[in-house]
Structure formats: C-alpha cells, structure tokens
Structure 1
Amino acid sequence: MIQYSLKCADGHSFDSWFQSAAAFDKLAAAGMVSCAVCGGSRVEKAIMAPRVRPGRTAVSAVGEPEPQAAAPAVPAPVPVPAAVAAGRREPGMLSRPSGEVEKAISELRRKVEENSEYVGGRFVQEARAMHLGEAPERAIHGEAKLEDARELIEDGVPVMPLPFRPGRKSN
C-alpha cells in the first residue's frame, strides 16, 4: 500500500491510499481517481516529503562510523483501514474536510445520500418521467451529461447540479 498526497485541478488537496504506484497510474489514466472535495477527475500527485530513515550506522569514506545525528522526526505510519486493505472504499475514508466550505459540502452530500434515491445514469429519464407524471414523484440524484441537463432545465424540469460526485463513483 502507498499513500499519495493528491491535488485536483481546482486546487483541493487530499490524501488517498493505493495498492501500488502502478495501480494509481492505471486508475488515474482510466479517470477513476476523483477529488474527495469536488469530485473533479483531473487529479495529480502533489509534492510530498519523502519518508526516508537513515541507515543504522552511516559509514564515512574512510570506513569509520560517523556520529549519529539526531534523526528528524518522522511521522509514524498511519494504520491502513481494513476496508482499504481489502480494496473497498467507505464514506469518509479520505482526509476529513478541513475548511468551512468542505464541511458544508460534506454535510450536503450526507443529507442528499440519506434523503434521495441514487438513479445513476438513468437520472435524465427518471426526472423527465416524474415531470410528465409518468413516474411517482420522489427525491432522486444521479448523473447527466451537461447537454441533457440543459434540456431538462429548458423543458421546465427542476434540477440542479451537486458540488460532488456520487459515492459510488469516487476513488
């Protein structure tokens, strides 16, 4: 397992665990790594400080042991949650929201997911059917292409974009 500091195109920083460097590269290339804050898919590795420990005894060029300098404080490794080790993602596994805006978005996400039905890619069809009275009215959330969302708005269907991606699509 490897932990990367990541940053999205909008400047949000967060951490995430991956099985290996190759696994990160493969997931990122497939567009399956998204920002924990805004859901954006343009995510890249951020600059990180390496966690390097000096050898037990550093040897000088003449072969005599050098006096050990005080080793810099290295943060203890963060225990890997069982879900991560098993390859599953659970809500809130990435770094916790730090700013007021991030906390508000996190709370909004929690409320939306608790109080509405996720319909995925069927969102446009479901919203239109409810608007036309062909399906029972209920709170739904899902995914739509921008052009399809515009058509819904032009047709008078009340929709709004959410500032996050569905949990099923995140990292």
Structure 2
Amino acid sequence: MIQFTLKCDSDHRFDSWFQSSAAYDKLATAGMVSCSVCGSSKVSKALMAPRVNTAQPPETPAKPTRPLSEPASDAERAMAELRRKVEANATYVGGNFASEARAIHDGSSPDRPIYGEAKPEEARALIEEGVPVMPLPFAPGRKTN
C-alpha cells in the first residue's frame, strides 16, 4: 500500500491510499479517483515528502494514529454525515440521474429524493430547464478511492 497526497483542479488537497503507484495511475486514467472535497475527477499527485519511520524496527509494522475509516477533521466528519443522510434518505439512480430528475420534475415519475451521476453537460441542461438539482460533494460509493 502507498499513500499519496493528491490535489484537484480546484487546488483541494487530500490523502488517499492505493495498492501501488501503478494502481493509482490506472484508476486516475479511468477517472476513478475523485476529490474528497468537491468530487472533481481532475486529480493529480501533489508534492509530498517521503515518510521514513525510524522509531520501530523493520519487522514491527507502524501503527496508524487513527483507523483510515475515521474522518480526520471537522470537514471530513461533516462530509461523512452528509453522505450518510443522502444515502439513507434518497434513491441511487446511477447514470440515469438526468432522465430520472426530468421525469420527476415533469410529473411522469413519483416525486422522491434521488442522487446519481450526470455528465457536466447533462447537469447544465437540467439547470437551464429549471429542474432543481445540485452537485453533491462526494462520488457514489463504488467510485470512491
């Protein structure tokens, strides 16, 4: 496992773990690495210093200060809580988000909260048509780092 400091095109910086450097390259090329702050998939490696742990012998693995599954900051905790609320109270419609949002807006589909994925041009078209949508600051679970 390797930890990289990453940054998105909006200059948000965050850390993420990958199986290897090649695994990061493959995921990033496929658009599967996204910013943990804004969700952008335009992510690159940021300048980072190597970590060298000299306090323990090589045969003893270093213990992390906190489990990776725990948020590290108030912002990460708020993001995790928002994600839990969205996933608990809305239906995931995947790539059908734009068509389903239109159907709900025009009354041909039952009114309910949904979330999913839309291309930027699809989202722009929904906004121009007056369909009430907003971007979420996270990617669906299957696309997280």
Compute the TM-score of the two structures, normalised by the length of structure 2.
0.76
* Distance in 2 of aligned mates of 1:149 and 1:43: 21
Question: Does residue 96 of the first structure (1) align with residue 71 of the second (2)?
Answer: yes
After superposition, the Cα gap between the structure-2 partners of 1:135 and 1:22, relative to the gap in structure 1 and judged at 3 Å, is same
- Structure 1 residue 126: Cα displacement: 0.9
- Structure 1 residue 106: Cα displacement: 3.0
1:1-53 deviations in whole A, cap 9, x for unaligned?
22222222323332222111111122222221112222121222233332346
Q: Which has the larger radius of gyration?
A: 1
- Equivalent residue, structure 1, for 2:143: 169
Structure 1 portions without partners, runs of 5+ = 54-71, 82-91
- Equivalent residue, structure 2, for 1:78: 64
Whether the 8 Å CA contact 1:117–1:141 is kept in 2: the answer is: yes
SS of structure 2 residue aligned to 1:23? helix
- Structure 1 residue 113: Cα displacement: 1.3
Moved over 4 A (4+): 72-75
Q: What are the residue-to-residue correspondences of 1:9-24 with 2, within 5 Å?
A: 9-24=9-24
Q: Given residue 86 of structure 2, which amino acid in structure 1 is its aligned partner? A: V
Aligned length: 140
SS of structure 2 residue aligned to 1:38? coil
Whether the 8 Å CA contact 1:39–1:170 is kept in 2: the answer is: no
Whether the 8 Å CA contact 1:97–1:106 is kept in 2: the answer is: no
Q: Given residue 21 of structure 2, which amino acid in structure 1 is its aligned partner? A: A
SS of structure 2 residue aligned to 1:16? strand
* Distance in 2 of aligned mates of 1:97 and 1:77: 16
* % same residue: 65
